Amino acid sequence: MSENGSEQTGGELIGGRYRLGERLGQGGMGVVRRATDELLGRPVAVKTLALDSGADPGGALREARVVAQIRHPHVIVVHDVVEHDGLPALVMELVDGGSLADRLAAGEVLTPREAARLGLDLLDALSAAHARDVLHRDVKPANVLLEKDTGRAVLTDFGIASLPGATTLSRTGVFIGTPEYTAPERMQGGDAGPASDLWSLGALLCAAATGTSPFRRDSIGAVLHAIVYEEIRPSERMGPLVPVVRGLLERDPDRRLGAAEARRMLAACAAGEPPPVSSYTPTARETVPSAAPGRSARTPGTTTAGDPGAGRRSGRAVPIVAAAVAVCVAVATVAVLRAVQGDPATGAPAAGPGSTSAASTPGRNAPATTPAPASAESDPEAYEYREVTDVRGFTVTVPYGARRSTDGERVIYTTGDGAVRVGIRIRPVPSGGAIGVMRASDASGPTDYPGYRDATVEETTHKGLPAARWEFGWNGFTPAEGARHTVDVCWEQDGTLYDLWASAPVPRAEEGRSALDTALDSFRTTGG
């Protein structure tokens, strides 16, 4: 073993000059090792293919040729291609430092200004590739190396890079890329251009500033659903990065933030300056990409960019082989199409795999009673309510027909018209307690909520327990969403902080308050 615990390879000499050393990393197709170029006396990195990986031997030569076209300080340099065990091996510059993925796995995240500087480096690297008509197609934290002495970011692994117009599936039926960092147009099998790499950069910036991808889910179907369908909202942790991330994660590639504007916005964030005025206008929140022209649906699901649901990381390649896998892909596709086009039986949007309906499995989210929806003669702004038992271990009363979604930390119930949202978050009581949480949220309000205004924070009680209440107005995340009013109440109980909030359009603020009061009065932990 080496001093850092890495496995030694025995000092094998390949290509007549490269002495292999310790293993630096390993992927599905092979390993990367530290090595010494004995002819020039310099350290290098050698990427060798695994004999049983099924990798195309021509892929290494292709990667070398692609990278050779792009001479840029933030793109990995390939020095040589030699033979190892009958397969080509790439000899590359050694970037002495781990990957961004390593840093995130260690529990470290970047500040918004650090993430902005990283984004500028990667944006320049991608622009250099795009100028040569090269798409990277796998921009993710594992493919970003961080040089420990200089902080230089280096984009690596162009193994699946392509020219624009390349198909999403390879000839062997293997998905190309990493699903949770893949743009929706590629997920839907459409044409991909430079804008697809910019989407991946937006997802990477979320991960850099918060610790994980905004689209991480437990299954490929759920990842697909989140990317193509669920509403995307910026995480409060990203601060001044929010505008540029929002623009990069625009689902319509023709309207997505371009490289020039992204560079201006990232440069301002890196310098600690206010974001410049952008020509980018977000797509209306209710509109999502459709598999059929002219079809759209309201979006009850929510993906908070940078605060995703928990789950295992999806792998780089997803083989589509055997009948069972084909069935899974078909089911996921049908779920997405239903989510986009709406449930034909009811005319309402379908919940889909990543956004479980509140009226799903009996005993889990099923209502204790099933009241009829409000009639046409009743107040159009009045809601009927029903009690649901959530899989997170609580029971609460929410508006009838509300759909359940989650971003990992919070459970959100959204009314069928998409207007009113009720959220629940449960966590250990942090330092400062309920009032400390609300005061901190208020302090970051101008950064987290566009047009933040008229805020009040007060210490109170809830059912005799220490509590705090935070109320404010803001502009909404998109012009189509419009001005909103939010009320948030959290309380401490047996070392746990329970946080319930409701958000509604300003003209319907009373509906939001009523929904929150109903949820607060009815909320109890399962069995409580």
| Domains of the chain, start order | 13-93 (3.30.200.20), 100-305 (1.10.510.10), 385-525 (3.40.1000.10)
E strand segments, 85-162 = 87-93, 144-146, 153-155
| Beta pairing class for 465-474 and 18-26 | unpaired
Q: What is the pLDDT of residue 408?
A: 67
Report the alpha-carbon distance of residue 350 to residue 287 in Å, rounded. 14
Active site residue 379: no
What would the pLDDT profile of 476-518 be if each residue is shown by its tens digit?
876 777 899 999 999 999 999 999 999 999 999 999 999 999 9
Q: What is the pLDDT of residue 367?
A: 31
Report the alpha-carbon distance of residue 234 to residue 249 in Å, rounded. 10
Q: What is the pLDDT of residue 496?
A: 94
Report the alpha-carbon distance of residue 459 to residue 439 in Å, rounded. 10
Q: Which pLDDT band, with edges at 50, 70 and 90, does 331 fall under?
A: very low
What would the pLDDT profile of 156-215 be if each residue is shown by its tens digit?
888 777 754 444 444 344 456 688 999 999 887 777 889 999 999 999 999 999 888 889
Q: Which pLDDT band, with edges at 50, 70 and 90, does 308 fall under?
A: very low
Q: Which pLDDT band, with edges at 50, 70 and 90, does 410 fall under?
A: confident
Q: What is the pLDDT of residue 333?
A: 42
Q: What is the mean pLDDT of residues 346-352?
A: 30
- Residue 322's SS3 state is helix
Mention every residue, 6+ apart, whose C-beta is less than 8 A from residue 155. Answer: 74, 75, 76, 122, 125, 126, 136, 139, 143, 144
Q: What is the mean pLDDT of residues 16-25?
A: 89
Q: What is the mean pLDDT of residues 16-22?
A: 91
Query: Tokens 């309207």 label which residue?
Result: 255
Specify whether the CB–CB gap between 144 and 99 falls below 8 A.
yes
Judge whether residue 388 has pLDDT over 70.
Answer: yes
b/e code 110-121 from CB counts within 10 Å (16+ = b): bebbebbbbbbb
Q: Which pLDDT band, with edges at 50, 70 and 90, does 303 fall under?
A: low
Q: What is the pLDDT of residue 89?
A: 86
Token pair, residue 254, equals: 């023709």
Q: What is the pLDDT of residue 438?
A: 95
Instruction: Name the average pLDDT for the chain.
Output: 75
Give the lowest-confidence range in 77-81, 230-234, 261-265, 374-378.
374-378
Token pair, residue 429, equals: 């009581």
Give the lowest-confidence range in 76-85, 264-273, 297-306.
297-306
Give the lowest-confidence range in 107-116, 124-133, 415-424, 467-476.
415-424
Helices (H), 384-508: 433-443, 445-448
What would the pLDDT profile of 67-118 be if each residue is shown by its tens digit?
777 888 999 888 888 888 878 888 989 888 889 999 998 889 999 999 999 9
Specify whether the CB–CB gap between 491 and 514 falls below 8 A.
no
The larger pLDDT score, comparing residue 9 to residue 407, is at: 407
Report the alpha-carbon distance of residue 76 to residue 69 in Å, rounded. 11
Q: Which pLDDT band, with edges at 50, 70 and 90, does 5 fall under?
A: very low
Give the lowest-confidence range in 99-113, 169-183, 262-276, 407-421.
169-183
Q: What is the pLDDT of residue 171?
A: 38
| Beta pairing class for 13-14 and 465-474 | unpaired
Token pair, residue 514, equals: 């009523």
Reference 499, options 355, 392, 420; nearest CA is 392
The larger pLDDT score, comparing residue 235 to residue 462, is at: 462
* Percent of the chain surpassing pLDDT 90: 38
Q: What is the pLDDT of residue 467?
A: 96
Residue 113 amino acid letter = R
* pTM, entire model: 0.56
Judge whether residue 282 has pLDDT over 80.
Answer: no
Helices (H), 274-422: 322-341
Q: Compute the C-alpha angle 350/167/162, nearest 5°.
A: 125
Q: What is the pLDDT of residue 493?
A: 93
* Percent of the chain surpassing pLDDT 70: 71
Q: What is the pLDDT of residue 369?
A: 31
Q: What is the pLDDT of residue 309?
A: 36
Choosing from 37, 138, 390, 442, which is the catalytic residue?
138
